Structure 1
């Protein structure tokens, strides 16, 4: 008797995925727009590779995962608190919600797919002033057809009907525009291109950088423009550039290049993405200043202070004068031709409803599971308690969703990761087992199963611990064999020794180095490597691994531990 298997195919969603050699982009919006953006990101990757002498070099890094979502309200709903990305500080009028997290298993980036604007000076809503305008220009004596002594209320009724129709114009109506408003456009694609340029710099040249330079480097390539399949240009000034510089007084260059602006609470009143663009643009395009910029960045990369590094520019007052004159002159840009095959068209597919259901959860996971470290203060830490409560509530929702999509591998994998990162090892092991039942031999599922088994082993009685740890490491080794390029099993294997207080073997250290090479911008794996090398007495190598974390452009949860370890190494 034949066996009949009944099942329901997961229906297609409105989300699409566009994959290139270096990017996986996901969006609920237009498939055509997504394809164009992914293609432009691949073009930008090639351009940056040429400019920074990386073309045709080996590349073992993980692809950046780019997710395009709706407006600011949608961002707010996901509570994507940036733990490892904090540009500026800029004036609050500049919108553009963006999220970037160089996670250990691959960097993720999210941005709005909608164009926005920065309102430098508010005007008056046309919808608000039109009723008054109509009343002021409608003579009381004007009568509707048939009006007169016999119909004395007709004129008033006509005026009221016009006023009523105008009052109904809301913020999204065609007449909901502002009069005398001073604003500049903020292109959605420009924000995405800027985000990728920053990611490229931090991934392929993972050093310590001043924040203003990383911010400005991104802005420099935000105006990338393409012509057909063989030409592109970069370096043009952003739309509204002159308006912004006329509106905001320039912040002192000396305070920027020395980093003093980061401690100035009022810096945001004068420092904008346009100013970051201007300073970086001048140094990037100036033959004389370009060499000074390299010296400045090299000093910081070696662990020197920004104050010391700024000496590379000489007289900072002269640099200020040059920048003011530069802004007033004709600003250069560059065009280049390239073989179309160097930036191939993306491969597009539509996500299933099950896959789409966990796109946002994948993004949220980084911030939702971040818990502040416990304080030494014996008093209750209200903030930590509230954060744990929010995490647990989010986890309960994720568990319900994973149960609803019980036959979806991605749902079980996301839940396994969330449980493991929350130290719920039994629950993690169960979710990983469900994922393996759906996808036998899956590398991620095996890695989380091995992580959970190691955690369970560490909580076991001493007599059983060694045997359970060996079993956990066997599972982790299977995960590595399933996908040798995946950093998750490499990190899990090293952590199984570190958490147990055991000396990690050479193969575990080599795996940790490979994990860092896969996601060079990830501060978490760099900190682990620095700690491992320090324990082995390799101070120089440990220092090299830690500087980019300790003195990086953005303050991360790993920065303070990295600085503390560096300080001990230098004693």
Structure 2
């Protein structure tokens, strides 16, 4: 009876996954990989607009327009509530999209609902907001306070393009109008010095986002305050106290608050680029294979679950069932191995994870992420030994090195290779630190890579470089205080180093 049930399930999955019913498409641009269930025409148009948006930001900040070697992956689900369910695991969430600088690769999830309250569609605003966070983390090496991180993302979320492709920047965020006009105002000083997490309820957070956008808009567009934002950011990056930096740049903060309130009552101006923004490179759109199409929703569920064992266990079980249909797909076995490996230690079946990753590599020996995962599984096996030998650690590094050779522009194998030396209890050799530096250059938004690289620089005596890396995330409202902790640890390391140097100099003088 059990065998009959599996056969029926497999037949049902096969019927659902036939090429005729495949629904997920993939769009490739110079800077993005986009997955969507929409039709090809709408996805192509969306991809072109997103590429234009990236180009608009690059022109605004004088960045290179070379193709991005480590492209951002974006998933578009049908509705905002679908994106919210993915991030929270339950229905009814107000979250309509999100961005995660994940150690396995940064990605964003948004939706395709073209609801227009006023201005640009909410789906476009959601994704442009999230991509602005990614853009700031990846390309702006400076430290930014929390209000500006959110104000920047809100300001650029409403970018739109005319029929001939000219960029319109600085349009109002109408979705914030209710909070700005009807809720109690957050004073400018509070906005400048308080984290959004300190807001007690969703209404206050909405006002915080709205006031952050309004202040950003005023500083970008009010001629009487030209240059103030740049001076403020420079002071923050020198390490000036937040309030001192604000007063020195903006003047009296009570007056700033009054000016901000008056600015809200004025007609909002926006800028239109003098020339159309071109879509660089080709935009390719292809349908996923039947296996990829069936697999993608499960991958989305896995990467969104974020250590939720119950959700991951369900994904794992669904992947096992899907393997009855698509057992010849390396990606499926990698996803199954990943789901098993991401379970808590007491629930993880290491043998099952190893068997699944071995199947993936038997089908595709150069599967980059499967080779990295094999290295991690081998690490656990080596650490369980009573007396690990150098040859054991060489075996750990072998699949990771193959992954790096297969795709030198993937930061994950580079970081994994570096980490094997820490796991072994060794000081990483120069080649591993160089690889870590390359991983950081490819994905500076990855906190784990940033932290490791900062400590590697500090251990090598480059405290200025290490502290600069920490300062860039010290105020980030999304990282749970990791940046501030990193900054404090590095400052302590520098002070200890000064103490050792002073003691050595004193000993030399004796």
TM interval, shorter chain, is 0.7 to 0.9
Contact 2:81 2:94 in 1 (8 A): no
Residue 63 (structure 1) aligns with? 71
Kept in 1, the 8 Å contact 2:334–2:370? The answer is yes
Partner-residue secondary structure (3-state), 1:208? coil
CA offsets per residue over residues 14-33 of structure 1, 9 Å max, x none? 11111111111111123322
2:106 match: secondary structure: strand
Structure 2 CA distance, aligned partners of 1:502 and 1:185? Answer: 53
Within 5 Å, give how 1:215-364 maps onto structure 2: 215-239=150-174, 244-259=179-194, 262-265=197-200, 268-269=203-204, 271=207, 273-311=209-247, 312-338=249-275, 341-344=278-281, 346-364=283-301
Higher relative contact order, structure no. (Cα contacts within 8 Å, ≥ 6 residues apart): 1
**Structure 2 CA distance for partners of 1:474 and 1:96, relative to 1, 3 Å:** closer
The residue number in structure 2 matching 1:31 is 40
Q: Distance in 2 between matches of 1:426 and 1:561?
A: 37
- 1:40-439 mapped onto 2 (5 Å cutoff): 40-56=49-65, 60-80=68-88, 95-116=94-115, 187-239=122-174, 244-259=179-194, 262-265=197-200, 268-269=203-204, 271=207, 273-311=209-247, 312-338=249-275, 341-344=278-281, 346-370=283-307, 387-388=308-309, 391-402=312-323, 404-422=325-343, 425-439=350-364
Could you say what the CA RMSD is over the residues aligned between the two structures, in angstroms?
A: 3.2
In the alignment, structure 1 residue 543 sits paired with structure 2 residue 467: yes
Secondary structure of residue in 1 paired with 2:366: coil
Shift of 1:495: 1.0
Q: 1:289 to 1:409 in 2, by over 3 A?
A: farther
More helix by share: 2
Higher-strand-fraction structure: 1
Answer with 1 or 2: which has the greater Rg.
1
Q: Which residue of 1 aligns with 2:376?
A: 451
Contact 1:259 1:306 in 2 (8 A): no
Q: CA shift at 1:273, angstroms?
A: 3.8
- Alignment-derived partner of residue 500 in structure 2: none
C-alpha deviation, 1:223, in angstroms: 2.1
- Number of aligned positions between the proteins: 473
**CA distance in 2 between partners of 1:67 and 1:257 (Å):** 33
TM-score for the superposition, normalised by structure 2: 0.83
* TM-score, normalisation: structure 1: 0.74
Deviations 1:260-286 (A, max 9, x none): 664342583371543332211111123
For residues 432-477 of structure 1, give each alpha carbon's deviation from its aligned partner in whole angstroms, at most 9, with x where no partner exists: 2222222232322222222322332222231x43211112212222
Q: Within 2, Cα distance between the matches of 1:263 and 1:60? A: 36
